[in-house]
Amino acid sequence: MFQLLLPNPALRQLFVTRGKARLRSMLRKIASPKRLVLSAIAIVLPFIWVVNFVASMLLRESFTPEAFRNGVFCTGAAYCLWYLLKASTFRPAAAIEWTPAERSLMCGGPFSRAELIRYRLTTIFTATIFKALFASLMFLPELSMWWTGFLGMLLGLAFLDVTRLAAEIIITGVDHSVFLKIRAAVLTIAATAGISAAISAISSTAILISKYPVFFSLPIEFANELVKLRSTSAGMVLSAPLLPFVEIITSPSVSVSLLSWLALGGSMTLALTTAVIHLDGLFADQNAESIRRAYASIAAAKRAKQHAKRRSSPLPQIARLSGVGPIAWRQWLGARKYEVSLLFALGVPAVLSSLPLLANDDSVDTFLNVASALIVYSFLLLPAALKFDFRRDYDRLPVLKTLPASPLAIVIGQLAVPVLLASLLQVFVLLFAFIVRPLPLLIVGNALLMLIPLNVLIFGLDNLIYLMFPYRQSEEGLQPFIRATLTFTAKGVLCLSALTCIFLWAVNCRWMSELPLFSGLGGHHVLFVIGIWGMMLFTGVALVLLSARVFDRFDISCDHAL
C-alpha cells in the first residue's frame, strides 16, 4: 500500500526520514529542562485520556443501532459541510500549502506534480489510520465486529479527507465568478438546513421538559432536528455517498452484502483519490495563469484604493507603549483584512449564546443562561476564530525575537487584538440580552466585569501552549491529531479543576462572609463575585507572565523549524 501511494523511492525515503526526524524532535522537546512542567503534564494526559476512554466504554450506555447510524451519517455530513463552508467563505490562496522546507526539498526537486500530491496524500492517510483506530475503539460497544468498524471508519475518513482536498482544489482553481456561484450554493444549502432545524428546535416542547439548562438543551434539540433532515429526500441524496461506509461500520456479520459494500467503499475512495491527482494537475496547468491575472488585478485595485486613501489621510500616530502599540496595531491591520470572515466567525457564537432568550424563563435565569453559554462558546469557538496572535506568526517568530521590546510587551501586544474582539462580542451579546430581558444593572455590571480577565485567561492559555510547542496552522498528518487530542484533554482537565475551585469557593463563601475581615462587603454573594474575579485575574496575569518567560527563553535554533 505504501509503495502504491508513493512509487518514487526518493519520496518514500524522504517520508520515512522526516517521520523519524519529527519523532526525535518531539522527544527532544519533551526532554527539554525548560519544558519540564509541561512535558510532565503531556506525559500524564495520555493516561487520563486512556482512563476516561476505558470508563466511557465500560460505564456509558450504548447507543441504539438507529441512533448510531444517524450519528455516523450526520458526523460525516457535518465534516463535509464545515470544510465546504470554510473553503467557500475563506477562499484559500492554495489548496495545498507547502512549508519552506518542502518547497526547497520537493517542489524544487525532480518530482512531478502528481508525485508531490501522492506524498501529501500519504501524510494525510497516515493520520487517518490512527484516527480510525481511536474512533473504532471509542465506539466499540456499538460495533458488532470491531474489524469491520475499523475498516469502515478508515475508508470513510479517507474518503472525507480526499473530498475536502478535492473541494479545495476546485474552489482555489476556478475563476472568481464560478467561485461566487459555488459560495452562493453552499451558503444557501447550509442556511436552509440551519434555519429549518432552528425553527423546529425553537418550537419544540422538548426544551421545556429538559433536565439540562436552556443553553444546553437548545443545541441538543437543534442537533436532533438536523438528524431528522436526513430522512428527507434532499437529505438522503446528500448523504448517499456516505452510505457504503455506514453499512460497513454497522454490519452485524460477514456476508455477501458486506463484501459488496467494502468493494464499493474502497472503489469510491480509490477513484476519488485518483481524481484528486488529476484535478490538481488540470487546474495547475489550465488555470494558473488566469488565477495569477485575477489576483494581480485585485491586488492592483487594492493598491490603488490604498494609495488614494493614504493621499487623502495622514498616517495614524501609534502610541509605542513600550512596544505594545505597534505590535497590537499590526495584528489589528491583519484582522481588518478578514472583516467579512470575522463577522461570520463571531456571528455563530453570538447567535448560539443568544438562543436562551427565546425561552420563556425568568429574566435573571435567562440572563445567566446567556452568560453561561457565552463562557462555554468563548472557550470552544473563539480561540479558533481569533488567531491574531502568536498562532499565525510561526514564520515571524524569529523576527519578533529581534524587536527592541521586552518579552512581556510583545506578549501583551500579541494578545491585545483577540482579547479586544472577544470582549466586544461578549459586551454586544450581554447588552442585547439586557435590552430584550431587562434586569438589575448590578447583575449586568458583574458580568461585564468578568470579561477581560476571562478573555486574557482563554487566549493566554492557548498562546502559552503554542509557544511551548509551536507549529504551522496548515500542518497535516499525525502530529496535529495528537496535539489536538492532548490540547483538548488538557483544557478539559483545566476546566474541571476550575469548576472544582468555583464549587469549593461557593461552599465556603457563606461562613467566610461572616468573618470580621469580610463582614463589610455586603454578604456572601458579593464575596463570591470578588473571589471569582480575583481568581480569573490572577490566572490570566500568571499565564501572560509565563508566556513572556517562555517567549524570552524561546530558542530559534531548537524550537523553530522550516
Report the pLDDT value the prediction gives residue 58, as an integer from 0 to 100: 63
pLDDT in tens, 227-268: 777 777 777 777 788 888 888 988 888 888 889 999 998 899
Q: DSSP 3-state assignment of 154?
A: helix
333 and 201 in a common domain: no
Which of the residue ranges 308-322, 510-524, 538-552 would you say has the lowest mean pLDDT?
308-322
Contact 378, 451 (CB under 8 A): no
Inside any domain, residue 423: yes
Inside any domain, residue 311: no
Contact 136, 62 (CB under 8 A): no
Amino acid at 329: W
Q: Cβ atoms within 10 A of the Cβ of 24, count? A: 10
Inside any domain, residue 20: no
Query: What confidence category does residue 560 fall into, taking pLDDT thresholds of 50, 70 and 90?
Result: low
Q: DSSP 3-state assignment of 321?
A: helix
Contact 479, 22 (CB under 8 A): yes
Contact 446, 525 (CB under 8 A): no
334: domain range? 322-562
Is pTM, for the whole model, over 0.85? no
pLDDT in tens, 51-104: 666 666 666 677 788 878 888 887 888 788 878 877 777 777 677 777 777 777
**423 vs 400: CA distance, rounded Å:** 26
For residue 285, pLDDT over 60 is answered with no
Q: Which three cell numbers stand for residue 362?
A: 425568568
pLDDT in tens, 380-393: 788 888 888 888 88
Amino acid at 414: Q
What distances in angstroms separate CA 372 from CA 354, 427, 447, 494, 560, one per listed residue?
Answer: 11, 14, 10, 17, 38
415 and 492 in a common domain: yes
Sequence-distant contacts of 206-214: CB under 8 A, at least 24 apart? 207/359, 208/359, 213/356, 213/369, 213/372, 214/355, 214/356, 214/359, 214/361, 214/366, 214/369
353 and 266 in a common domain: no
Q: Which three cell numbers stand for residue 434?
A: 439586557
**12 vs 282: CA distance, rounded Å:** 25
Contact 153, 266 (CB under 8 A): no
Q: What are phi and psi of 68, to 5 degrees?
A: -65, -40
Q: How many domains does the chain have?
A: 2
259 and 367 in a common domain: no
385 and 255 in a common domain: no
- Best CA proximity match to 426, nearest among 365, 363, 382: 382
Inside any domain, residue 304: no
387 and 241 in a common domain: no
**431 vs 506: CA distance, rounded Å:** 26
Inside any domain, residue 413: yes
**278 vs 90: CA distance, rounded Å:** 24
Inside any domain, residue 433: yes
Inside any domain, residue 518: yes
Q: Which three cell numbers stand for residue 469?
A: 510547542
User: Dihedral through CA 244, CA 245, CA 249, CA 253, nearest 10?
Assistant: 30
Q: Which three cell numbers stand for residue 271?
A: 477513484
329 and 272 in a common domain: no
342 and 210 in a common domain: no
- CA 295, 297, 298, 299 torsion-angle sign: positive
Domain boundary residue, one of 255, 284, 313 = 284
- What HEC string does 45-67 produce? HHHHHHHHHHHHHHHCCCCCHHH
Cα radius of gyration rounded to whole Å, the chain: 26
Angle at Cα 313 formed by Cα 307 and Cα 316, nearest 5°? Answer: 105
pLDDT in tens, 391-438: 888 888 888 888 888 999 999 999 999 999 999 999 999 888 888 888
404 and 279 in a common domain: no
190 and 136 in a common domain: yes
Rounded to an integer, the average pLDDT of 430-448 is: 83
**463 vs 460: CA distance, rounded Å:** 5
E-only strand ranges, 49-142: none
For residue 294, pLDDT over 60 is answered with no
Q: Which three cell numbers stand for residue 274?
A: 485518483
pLDDT in tens, 123-136: 888 888 888 888 88
511 and 444 in a common domain: yes
367 and 272 in a common domain: no
What distances in angstroms separate CA 400 from CA 29, 325, 330, 417, one per listed residue?
Answer: 21, 14, 12, 17
Inside any domain, residue 290: no
